[in-house]
Amino acid sequence: MSTTTSGLGARPGLWVGLILGTCGLIFGLKASGAINDTTTLLLAIVPTALLFALFRSLANQRENRCGSTSQAGKRYIFGIMATSIAYVLGLGVAMWVFRNLDPSVELTWLLAMLPIAPILAMIFVMGRYIVEEQDEYLRHRAIMASLIGLGFVLAIGSFWGFLETFELVPHVPGWWAVPIWAMGMGLGQAWQSMRHKVGPVDEE
Amino acid sequence: MKNRLKVLRAERNWSQQALADELGVSRQSVNAIETGRYDPSLPLAFQIAEVFGMAIEEIFSRD
């Protein structure tokens, strides 16, 4: 059995670089006052679209390493892709309306739900993957990665929280918990991949 | 835990992927078990023994 590893589809690092690059460019243009809120929101479509390519290349890479992606793995990748894009769009729309249209309190509650709902869905997708994954080793890795992510949240949250209590650092919104958890999970998976490096598909 | 998975697989001229397909797991799993980085659960160990037509203790042993 062989799987194609060539082409842009098999290089997630390239897509991560492009996403960070475009986000940095948009942020720089916004910070310098070269573009307004509406243009920023429109330009945000570019990194959002690049997320599609990133998830596709991650799926390809997973297939190359594992031989094939399980049904649970496919549902997980699709779920994370859908919720990530919904989160970026929801956050963008909510922020733009909140800053530009002076919404009522009732509408503000609804706006706040736009990024919250995808985040809750993302947590559900992760939990469902752990329940549904039939490959016990991959399930073990996912659980370890999520525990590492949780460790990051608890450590950084406690560290920052006490510094904040003693008025040494500014307040940070609680929603940072999920991005820190996701970052910790990513680092956890990367760490496990480095430790458990597997050879190419054709290795006997 | 030690195991003879790599030797047994080589004797039968099976690739990691072929064994993974037979067990219904990923190639990563076979690699991790073979190299001793992951100890399989009892049901998976029984399944591996069944695929090779051997007893568990003939494949796995304590360090």
Chain B interface test: which of A68, A139, A198 (most B C-beta within 10 Å): A198
Instruction: Give tens-digit pLDDT for A86-142.
Output: 988 898 889 889 888 889 999 999 999 999 999 999 999 999 999 999 999 999 999
Identity of the residue in A135, A199, A204 whose CB atom sits nearest the CB atom of B26: A135
Q: Which of A71, A135, A144, A195 best probes binding to B when mutated, by most B CB atoms within 10 angstroms? A: A135
**Other beta carbons within 10 Å of A26:** 19
For A5, the 3-state DSSP assignment is coil
Boundaries of every domain in chain A: 1-69, 70-127, 135-197
Neighbour-count burial of A73, counting CB atoms closer than 10 A to its CB (0-12 exposed, 13-18 middle, 19+ buried): buried
- Give the count of beta carbons closer than 10 Å to the beta carbon of residue A79: 17
CA-to-CA distance for B38 and B48, rounded, in angstroms? 14
- CB spacing of B25 vs A140 below 8 angstroms: no
Residue B7 near chain A (CB below 8 Å): no
Residue A92 has phi, psi (to 5 degrees) of -60, -50
- Across residues A75-83, what is the average pLDDT? 89
What CATH number is attached to the domain comprising B43?
A: 1.10.260.40
Domain that holds residue B32: 2-61
ipTM of the complex: 0.90
Facing residue for A136 by CB, picked from B15, B21, B44:
B44
**Helices then strands (H, E): number in chain A?**
7, 0
Looking at beta carbons, which residues of chain B come within 8 Å of A201? 17, 27
Q: Name the pTM for this structure.
A: 0.73
The answer on pLDDT for A202 being more than 50 is: no
**Chain B residues with beta carbon closer than 8 angstroms to that of A68:** 26
Q: What is the pLDDT of residue B57?
A: 93
A to B CB pairs, distance under 8 Å: 57
Beta carbons within 10 angstroms of residue B4's beta carbon: 16
**B27 and A134: CB-CB below 8 Å?**
no
Question: pLDDT (tens digit, 9 = 90+) per residue, A27-38?
Answer: 788 878 888 777
At B57, list the tokens: 């203790």
What are the backbone dihedrals phi and psi of residue B2, each rounded to the nearest 5 degrees, phi first? -95, 160
How many domains does one find in chain B?
A: 1
Nearest to A137 among B10, B21, B29 (CB): B29
B32 touches chain A (CB under 8 A): yes
pLDDT digits (tens, 9 = 90+) for B10-41: 999 999 999 999 999 999 899 999 998 899 99
**Structure tokens, A133:** 């994954």
Task: Report how far residue A47's alpha carbon sits from residue A13's, in angstroms, rounded to the nearest whole number.
Answer: 14
The CA distance from A126 to the nearest CA of chain B, in Å, is 19
For A67, the closest of B10, B26, B41 (CB atoms) is B26
Q: What is the pLDDT of residue A64?
A: 63
A101, A107 contact by CB (below 8 A) = no
pLDDT tens-place string over residues A129-181: 999 999 999 999 999 999 999 999 999 999 999 999 999 999 988 888 988 99
User: Which residues from A are below 8 Å from B35, CB to CB?
Assistant: 196
